[in-house]
Amino acid sequence: MQENGNLAVLVVDPNPGMRTSLQNMLNLAGIGKVEYAINANTAIRQLQRRAYDVILCEYDLAGGSGEGQDGQQLLEDLRHHRLISASTIFIMLTSEGVHDKVVSAAELTPTDYVLKPFTVEMLSGRITRALERRAALLPAWQLAAQGKPREAIAACGDGASAQPRYAADFARIRAELHTSLNEHHEAAAVYREVLTERPLGWAALGMARALFALDQVDDARTILEELLAANPRLMAGYDLLARCLEASDEPELAKKVLEDAVAISPHVVRRLRKLGEVALAAGDVDGAEKSFRQVVTRARYSEFRNPEDHVNLVKALVTRDDLLGATGVVRDLERSMRGNPAADACRAYANSLVFDKSGNAGAAVAELQAAVTAVRAGGATSPGLRMDLAKACLDHQLDEQASNVMLTVMNDTSSGVSVDQAMHVFVNAGRTDMVEGMGQQLRAQAQILLGVADEKRNMGDVRGAVQTLLEALHIAPNNLQVMVATAGGILRQVNELGWDHPLGDTAATLLDGIRAQDPQHPRLAALTDEYQGARRKYGIATA
């Protein structure tokens, strides 16, 4: 286990007296490498520069003023933006007596939380226990971080046998690794095994997630309803239950579930944002406005504030004909988001909504064109906003602009939007005439990318070639030439540079796709032999 003297600790606390007290306690515990942050934003900036072993964070970072982020919101940002790893020890320090805030903090799983006042022995004991647990789980975490999920799964089995007191922790990591590999049946089996021993909430929640991923929505819903009846403060259960209800086309019930969750734990920005989206879709404009306004207010002090939250609030206000309020929100966006890479696109799109509602079509078109220009210049907007922008362009006969925006979505391999889903924007707008033209552009782009991949391969950049081939596959997923080239490129990489589980799975899927399209393809047999040979070479068990 890591010696205390080598631990790097970050103390996040606005109170200089408390910082001094913690410094003294940590020194008495043999910990000397201590750095400080006085609020959430300075903590984030420090964590962007370096990693810490332990974070001790005061809950009330605003010092009772209500301004700025609290410790729970900081933890949410750190986990969501992956500024802390699974092995980082995060301990919340609080004298907070308000129950819902404690629930929110516990929901976002800090390693532990300590209520004030506490002694050096109490704090040292918590840190020691956390370090012992981390030392046991670290080999599995490290293998997972190195992109070796199979080895990490095996390490979990070995670790559980060697240190049975952490068996549940190892089982949880193992199930999450199976989920990361899209092996939802295997994940469900692990959760089921845990549940036969103890009715742990996280295991039931994991089982519901696995069933949801397997499209067994009704079974997932049943588990979640029973889970929440037994444990009404397991907040993530509400989020997943709402997704189940949305999938079952029951938006009103989904909204009710999220409202119940917010009533219990009102401090999680992402849930408030989701409630606003569901409320707007269900026609509850007042509820949507309330939620989006809370999101804008709570996120104001975050390093990761998102101008799209202002756009969502503008949508709700425009829907209820509050143009004055919507204009004020746009002005606030301009003031508070200056310098944000997505701000220009969001401001222009939000303005277009206001002008559209007021009947000023000319001004709306000008703002839409400005929004498209900002998006194409690299404004970091979400796929959802870009698709909404494209729909608005189609409504105003800005066909070229709509096509340009949708190309940015389809060319974005991380968007989570398939080409078929993107094409439905045109189909749903009654513009099937544009689908073939978009298809031709994508096929031409795919051919260009194949050429770029060849150049990279000839220069010895095997990894770069595969990344380019995957981009081509993303925009032309059923193109036989692209499928064959990508499978071949992946197999070249794994043979030269070592087995890669996600790429190996992609190669297997591509071979199945080639076989389905053209079982007599002249490259199929050779590629299949090469794939099987690579598995044998690296000792990969046959699925």
Measure the CA–CA gap between 315 and 379, rounded to whole angstroms: 20
Domains of the chain as residue ranges with CATH: 4-142 (3.40.50.2300), 146-249 (1.25.40.10), 446-537 (1.25.40.10)
Which residues of the chain have a pLDDT value below 70?
1-3, 63-68, 96-108, 541-543
Helix (H, G, I), strand (E, B), or coil: what is residue 518? Answer: coil
Measure the CA–CA gap between 231 and 225, rounded to whole angstroms: 10
C-alpha closest to that of 518 among 490, 480, 491: 480
Q: For 209-260, give the DSSP string.
A: HHHHHTT-HHHHHHHHHHHHHH-TT-HHHHHHHHHHHHHTT-HHHHHHHHHH
Taken in order 277, 220, 184, 190, the sign of the CA dihedral is positive
pLDDT at position 293, please?
Answer: 96
pLDDT at position 99, please?
Answer: 45
Measure the CA–CA gap between 515 and 521, rounded to whole angstroms: 8
- Residues 372/405, Cβ–Cβ less than 8 Å: yes
Length of the chain: 543
Q: At what angle do helices 285-299 and 269-281 cross, to 10 degrees?
A: 160
Question: What is the token pair recorded at 154?
Answer: 């095996």
Measure the CA–CA gap between 141 and 364, rounded to whole angstroms: 51
Chain mean position to CA 304? 13
Give me the residue label for tokens 């209800």.
245
Helix (H, G, I), strand (E, B), or coil: what is residue 13? Answer: coil
pLDDT at position 100, please?
Answer: 53
Neighbouring CB atoms inside 10 A of 459's CB total: 10
Measure the CA–CA gap between 535 and 494, rounded to whole angstroms: 9
Measure the CA–CA gap between 426 and 435, rounded to whole angstroms: 7
Looking at residue 300, its amino acid is R
Chain mean position to CA 125? 33
Measure the CA–CA gap between 437 and 420, rounded to whole angstroms: 14
Strand arrangement of the beta sheet that strand 54-58 belongs to: 33-37, 8-12, 54-58, 89-94, 112-115
Neighbouring CB atoms inside 10 A of 506's CB total: 17
Residue 222 burial class via C-beta count within 10 angstroms: exposed 0-12, middle 13-18, buried 19 and up = middle
pLDDT at position 1, please?
Answer: 46
Query: What's 348-386 look like in SS3?
Result: HHHHHHHHHHHCCHHHHHHHHHHHHHHHHCCCCCCHHHH
Q: Which residues pair with 495 in a beta bridge?
A: none
C-alpha closest to that of 229 among 192, 260, 254, 184: 260
pLDDT at position 231, please?
Answer: 85
Measure the CA–CA gap between 165 and 458, rounded to whole angstroms: 53
Pairing of strands 8-12, 54-58: parallel
pLDDT at position 543, please?
Answer: 47
> Which contiguous run of DSSP H or E holds residue 54?
strand 54-58
Contacts of residue 128, Cβ cutoff 8 Å, sequence gap at least 6: none
